[in-house]
Structure formats: C-alpha cells, structure tokens
Chain A
Amino acid sequence: FPVAPGTEDEDKNTQLVENYLRNFYKFEPEKQSPFKNKNTNPLTEKLKEMQTFFGLKVTGKPDVETLEVMKMSRCGVPDVGQ
C-alpha cells in the first residue's frame, strides 16, 4: 500500500520527540509499569516538563514551537539530573 501523505513526517517527528525526551528528560518508555495509571501518558508528562523548562505553551503535545526547539542545536548534557 502507498504511504499516506504526511505519515512519513509524522513518524520522523515521533522519533525526534522520543529520542529528544530520552536524551534530555530521562524518558524511558520501556521501564513504565503496566499497572501505572492509564490516564497519565508518560510521554505527555515529559513533554510538559520540557515545554515548561523552555517557557513554551504547556500543551503536552509536540506542536510546531516544541518541535522547533527540539530541532535546535544544543549541548548534549541532559536538562534534568545526570
């Protein structure tokens, strides 16, 4: 089947967001407990943390501004913890 337009970009963005949060915000999806409250999405929570840090609108979604910041050149040291 042909790939629907935009799907490739969306996949790239999802990958970007996950890698970014993994590198700089201790996002570890594989370590999430299956018994955790299903109402809170760990990725959304980490995105909110990142958006708060950068003074962005806190939406918990990878909106245009958030993706722009994630694409900026930066220091490789995590923003939280070590």
Chain B
Amino acid sequence: YRLTEGNPKWERKDLTYRIVNYTPDMNPADVDKAIQNAFKVWSDVAPLTFKRIYDGTADIMMSFEIGDHRDNSPFDGPNGLLAHAFQPGNNIGGDVHFDEAEFWTKGSKGYNLFFVAAHELGHSLGLSHSDDPGALMYPTYSYIEPNEFRLPQDDINGIQAIYGQSDGPIKPTGPTTPVTCDPKLTFDAVATLRGELLFFKDRYFWRKHSQIPEVELNFISLLWPNLPSGIQAAYENVEKDHVFLFKENKYWVLNGYELVYNHPKSIYDLGFPKNVKRINASYSDENSGKTYFFVGDKYWRYDENRQAMDQGYPRKIIKDFPGIGKNVDAVFQHDRYIYFFIGNRQYQFDPNVKRVVSVMKSNSWFNC
C-alpha cells in the first residue's frame, strides 16, 4: 500500500457523506446500497463511522459528473478514466466524482459502482494507489463478484496505518495476492490450454507458455467475468478443444478463451454419484480419451468417446498411482508424465513404470 503524499488524514473519526445526484444507469436504491457497502468496506476495518446526510455540505460529497466538471480533472467519455477522488481536507477534499459517461451497474456488466466507489473512498481517506495487483487500491479496474469480495490485506494494512485498528473485538484479516516465486505456493487447479499452462489460485491464474520464460498473473475475472474465483479442478480435452473448469458441483466449458455456455452445468450429468460434492483435480489423457477425476483418496475414470464413466470406479488413488496419497490439489499431463500437485510439492509421475520419478517445488514451471 501507499499513503497519499504528505500523509493527509481526517482528524475526526465520525464522517458524513452525501449522494449529490444519481446515474440514470441504475435504480437509485441500488446506488444507495452500492455506496453504503463501499463505506462499510472501510468502516469494518478502521475506527471510522460514516453517516449519510441529505442536505448541506458533507465531508465526502459523491456525484456523477460528465466531461469537464470544473475541478481541473476533466473526464474523458466512455472507458479510460472511470472516477476520481480528492484527498482528505476541506471543501473539495474527500469528494468523489464518477464519470457519468460510463455505464454503471450493480453486477458484472459495465462498471460495478460498488468497487469503484470503494476504491475512490480509499483516496478520500488518505490512501494512494497500491502496486499490489490484488489490492482494492490498485489503479486499474477489474471485476469480482461483490458477494465474494473481502478487503485485501494490503488495503487493511494501509488504512490501519493511517487510522489504527477497528474498535471491534475481532481484528479482520483479508486475502493476500499470491507471489509467483513463493516457495510455499499451492494451486487450486492446473490445466493446459492450446499449448499454454494455466495455474489457478483463488481469484487469480498464471499463464505460462513453454517457449516464453515470463509468466503472467491475471485475475480470472479479467478474461472470464462470469467465472467464480476458487476453481477447484480443470482439464483440457485437446480433441474437442475444450477446457473444463470445476467448482463445487458445477462446471464451465471454455473453447479457447471463450466460455461455451453462459451457465454452468452439473457434475452429476457426467455420472458422479450425489455424495460427490466437489472434484479436487482432473486431467485428460489425449491418447486414450480417458479423463481422470480425483476426489479425496479415490479417483473416477471418464470415457470422453462414450461420454460416460467407466465401470469399476472409483478406485483408490494409491493403488494405481503409487506415491500419490489423497487430496490432490491439481494435476495435468505434459508429454509422457503426469504432474500431481499436493501442497507446495509437485510429483512427476511416469504412468508407464507407475511410479513417481521426481519431486519438485509446486512453482517449478515459473523459472523462479
């Protein structure tokens, strides 16, 4: 996190805000709710209260403005600049302006007002932009399902550096951005996609191409706003050019980078019994057309040609994959090996000799 130059802050902890006008894009009640939730993001983690007033001058005046609105920081039409806010202080200090030329929403279409408001309020309270790509105070916009939003730890550290900890008995903590070369790095799921490797973790994924040394960390929502965070298993069916992504008892299908269906399908359509609530890991063997699903200490085998589960499954993982215990985090096949991820370790398994031939760090693909 970074504090605004000169460390400006509000001297009072009980601040007022006023919504000066509304956008025609949204129902006024939804605007009120988005703004209220944005304030709550900060009042939950710092000893600050925000009271709404309806007349007169509030500490934080929030308005929708268009083009040059006479504050020396004109807006630029759709996209580009979305909003801005002023550091703590009198008059225009603390005020938040949203670009009315944007399409504001309470969901994933256009720009989500809650996120933008929460980010701008960070400036109103004295925070500058963070260089942590997972932080709310990172300068570029990215969408997260509002119900899944938790204020990242970087922002909590920032606001508490200015105002101290919240008065409540429970000290809130937030998610941290994964570090590519962290030796303790674990993954939720790994899959190939047209020659690239995708490593999923929380609301992020890394893209790695075997010919390119650099690895790229992105938000899942950057490419797929309709996908949830926390993908639990993934595999590529090279034949059909599909990538399957699993979370809980649902799955989504990609064709290249495009979602094939707008809505997820049920894993029970694949033939899983109802007592299977989620899949830990999966990979597909393109030579045999068999897909392997790992759940707890067992695995299922699915025939992609017949589109049905093979008979005689589930079987114990340890029986057919000696050296691989239970709770596989992620798995994928590359060349003649299968790579199992368990915690911060990666097991290179040779299916021909049926044994683990090498144990590596989970992030060995990232050239750390």
Interface, chain A (partner B; CB < 8 A): 24, 53-55, 57, 69, 72-77, 79, 81-82
Q: Kindly identify which residue among B4, B82, B133 contacts A75, using a CB–CB cutoff of 8 Å.
A: B82
Number of A-B contacts (CB under 8 A): 55
In the complex, A3→B123 CA distance in Å?
44
Q: Which secondary structure dominates where chain B touches chain A? A: loop
User: Which of B83-91, B188-196, B245-253, B343-351 contacts the other chain?
Assistant: B83-91
When the two chains form their complex, are residues A75 and B87 in contact, meaning their CB atoms are under 8 A apart?
Answer: no
Are A55's CB and B82's CB within 8 A? no
Residues of B within 8 A of A69 (CB): 140
A53-B131, A82-B87 known; 4 new pairs, CB 8 Å cut-off, are A53-B129, A69-B140, A79-B129, A79-B139
Residues of chain A with a CB closer than 8 A to B120's CB: 75
Chain B positions near chain A (C-beta within 8 angstroms): 4-6, 73, 75, 79-85, 87, 111, 116, 119-120, 123, 128-129, 131, 133, 139-141, 214
Contact across chains for A75 and B131 when beta carbons are under 8 A apart: no
A72 pairs with B214, CB closer than 8 A: no
Binding site secondary structure of chain A: loop
On whether A82 and B4 interact (CB within 8 A), knowing A54-B131, A57-B214, A75-B120, the answer reads yes
User: Is A77 a contact of B131 with CB atoms below 8 Å?
Assistant: no
Name the B residues within 8 Å of A75 (CB-CB). Answer: 81-84, 116, 119-120, 123, 129, 139, 141
A-B contact pairs, 19 of them (CB 8 A): A24-B139, A55-B131, A72-B140, A73-B80, A73-B82, A75-B83, A75-B116, A75-B123, A76-B83, A76-B84, A77-B84, A77-B85, A77-B123, A77-B128, A77-B139, A79-B128, A79-B139, A81-B5, A82-B6
What residue in chain B is nearest A23 (Cβ atoms)? B81
The chain B residue sitting closest to A81, CB to CB, is: B5
